[in-house]
Amino acid sequence: MKSSDIKLVSLILTLLFCLSTNLLLAQPSRFSFNEYINNEGDTLNYRLLYPDANPLRKFPLVIFLHGAGERGNDNESQLKWGVMNFATDQAMIMHPAFVMAPQCPENMDWGNFNYDEKTKEIQLQPNPSKAMELVIQLIYQLAEKHPIDTNRIYITGLSSGGTGTFDAIARHPNLFAAAAPVCGVGDMSKAASIAHIPIWIFQGSEDPVFDPIISLNMVKSLTKAGAHPGFTQYPEVGHFSWLAAYSDPLMIEWLFRQHK
Q: How many domains does the chain have?
A: 1
Q: What percent of the chain has pLDDT over 70?
A: 89
Angle in degrees, CA 251, 252, 256, rounded to 5: 115
pLDDT per residue as tens digits for the range 119-177 = 878 999 999 999 999 999 999 999 999 999 999 999 999 999 999 999 999 999 999 99
15 pLDDT more than 50: no
Domain range spanning residue 104?
30-257
Question: Is residue 19 assigned to a domain?
Answer: no
Q: What is the pTM of this model?
A: 0.88
- SS3 state at 21: helix
Question: Is residue 22 assigned to a domain?
Answer: no
Question: Is residue 61 assigned to a domain?
Answer: yes
Task: Please enumerate in sequence order all residues whose Cβ is within 8 A of that of 89, keeping only pairs 6 or more positions apart, or say none.
Answer: none
CATH number for position 133: 3.40.50.1820
What pLDDT is stored for residue 93 in this prediction? 95
Question: Is residue 10 assigned to a domain?
Answer: no
Q: State the Cα–Cα distance between residues 65 and 52, nearest whole angstrom.
A: 23
Q: Tell me the torsion sign for CA atoms 218, 222, 223, 224.
A: positive
Question: Is residue 83 assigned to a domain?
Answer: yes
Contact by Cβ (8 Å): 199, 179 = yes
Question: Is residue 229 assigned to a domain?
Answer: yes
What pLDDT is stored for residue 120 in this prediction? 77
Question: Is residue 108 assigned to a domain?
Answer: yes
